[in-house]
């Protein structure tokens, strides 16, 4: 697929999008017009306010359809993907044959984040969507440190337990706390001289591989990640590091 593309409504090139938003004004017909003008100012054309109504004292909600004039060339975007898919058995076999010892993985929700749902889905024996968690792998030794682990604790644990891969999870993203915590972890590992000895992996619903690599991580895993995606990445990357 190459060339410029736009959102598709019912005709190629119509550029149709739907928007919904709240404005901090009491609803009236002129509030609808304010919403329309706002969307025009965003650069859209054919702006239709499909719905406008009062949702609270001094607040109105709008549903708007509009056309965008801009395009993007999708063929120029190389989506970085972290690893190719493998089964648990294949991953265990790769570790046995190429690494020759158990891989040690530590996972934690760092900072004040208490939402372990992501890290648990990846590490717990049970796994997620029928894909077993890393605890189930014969060739992985996993340590789930749980929630609210400071970056200092995690780095100390890494050092004391000869960890090969760190999984840092962040669910709460309010006011950029996730980025701050991820960055702090990377910096402390650098400062301790451990960065090159471990695979550093970020995870969370708002994490992308692109974001993680920008932060200096080896990989990032976002929503819909299966435990075997993470395990395959760890095994493949560590295997690459073993001299042939």
Q: Is 57 in the site for other proteins (CB under 8 A)?
A: yes
> Minimum distance between the CB of residue 23 and other proteins, rounded to whole angstroms?
9
Vertex 241 angle, CA 182 and 229, to 5°: 55
| Near other proteins by CB under 8 A: residue from 17, 19, 172, 179 | 172
Smaller CB distance to other proteins: residue 103 or 123?
A: 123
Q: Is 50 in the site for other proteins (CB under 8 A)?
A: no
Q: Is 120 in the site for other proteins (CB under 8 A)?
A: yes
Q: Is 205 in the site for other proteins (CB under 8 A)?
A: yes
| Near other proteins by CB under 8 A: residue from 112, 156, 190, 210 | 112
Smaller CB distance to other proteins: residue 8 or 59?
A: 59
Measured in whole angstroms, the distance separating CA 181 from the mean position of its chain's CA atoms is: 14
| Near other proteins by CB under 8 A: residue from 67, 68, 173, 236 | 173
**x-marked contacts with other proteins along 4-43 as a string, rule CB under 8 A:** ----------------xxx---------------------
> Minimum distance between the CB of residue 236 and other proteins, rounded to whole angstroms?
27
The residue ranges that bind other proteins (CB under 8 A) are: 20-22, 55-59, 61, 112-117, 120, 124, 126, 146-148, 172-175, 177, 205, 223-224
């Amino acid at each position: 697929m190459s060339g410029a593309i736009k959102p598709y409504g019912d005709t190629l090139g119509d550029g149709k999008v739907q928007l919904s938003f709240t404005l901090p004004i009491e609803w009236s017909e002129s509030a609808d017009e304010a919403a329309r003008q706002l969307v025009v100012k965003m650069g859209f054309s054919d702006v239709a306010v499909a719905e406008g109504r009062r949702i609270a004292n001094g607040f109105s909600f709008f549903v708007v359809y509009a056309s965008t004039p801009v395009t993007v060339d999708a063929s120029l975007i190389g989506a970085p993907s972290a690893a190719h898919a493998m089964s648990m058995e294949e991953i265990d076999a790769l570790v046995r044959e190429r690494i020759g010892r158990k891989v040690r993985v530590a996972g934690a929700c760092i900072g004040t984040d208490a939402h372990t749902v992501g890290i648990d889905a990846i590490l717990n024996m049970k796994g997620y969507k029928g894909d077993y968690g890393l605890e189930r792998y014969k060739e992985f030794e996993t340590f789930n440190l749980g929630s609210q682990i400071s970056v200092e604790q995690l780095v100390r644990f890494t050092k004391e337990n000869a960890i090969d891969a760190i999984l840092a999870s962040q669910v709460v993203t309010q006011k950029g706390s996730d980025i701050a915590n991820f960055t702090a972890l990377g910096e402390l590992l650098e400062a301790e001289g451990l960065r090159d000895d471990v695979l550093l992996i970020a995870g969370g619903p708002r994490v992308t591989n692109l974001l993680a690599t920008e932060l200096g991580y080896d990989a990032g895993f976002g929503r819909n990640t299966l435990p075997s995606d993470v395990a395959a990445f760890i095994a493949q990357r560590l295997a690459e590091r073993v001299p042939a």
